[in-house]
Amino acid sequence: MYSEPCVAASTPMDSLAAKVKAFVIVASLKAHGGLTLVEFGELFLALMRLAIETVDTLDTAGPLKKEMVLEALGHLFDEVADKAVPIWFWPFWVIAKPAVRASLLAAASGAIEVVLQLVRKNS
């Protein structure tokens, strides 16, 4: 799997911020030569699961946990999404990027509840 090194790099970290930082650094290094949409999707879902597992152990309100996960996913998008865009699409991407980011995070917001149940079931 494309995301395994990213998850492995973040495993020894103890805070969500440190895990996200390690994950995104490794993802950026792996994406240096380019990234397919499937690879980006795998990275996105792997970070979502990792962030949900991490915040699920915190003693904070549910909406705050969800916001923390969405912030982590937004950071990944900001750092590596450009690597998944073909050069010929770049002029359109500059205009579409904010809308794509907002749409992806909105979809992730809805998916967090489902992934949370999967994470709890497998724990």
Give the pLDDT of residue 10.
Answer: 84
Q: DSSP code of 85?
A: S
Residue 74 three-state SS: helix
Task: Show the tokens assigned to 43.
Answer: 């990275």
> What tens digit of pLDDT does each residue of 6-47 get?
788 888 888 889 999 999 999 999 888 889 999 999 999 999
> What tens digit of pLDDT does each residue of 47-101 get?
998 998 888 887 877 788 889 999 999 999 999 999 999 989 999 999 999 999 9
To 5 degrees, how large is the angle CA 59–CA 63–CA 67?
A: 100
**Count of beta carbons in the 10 Å neighbourhood of residue 35:** 22
Q: Are 73 and 118 in contact (CB under 8 A)?
A: no
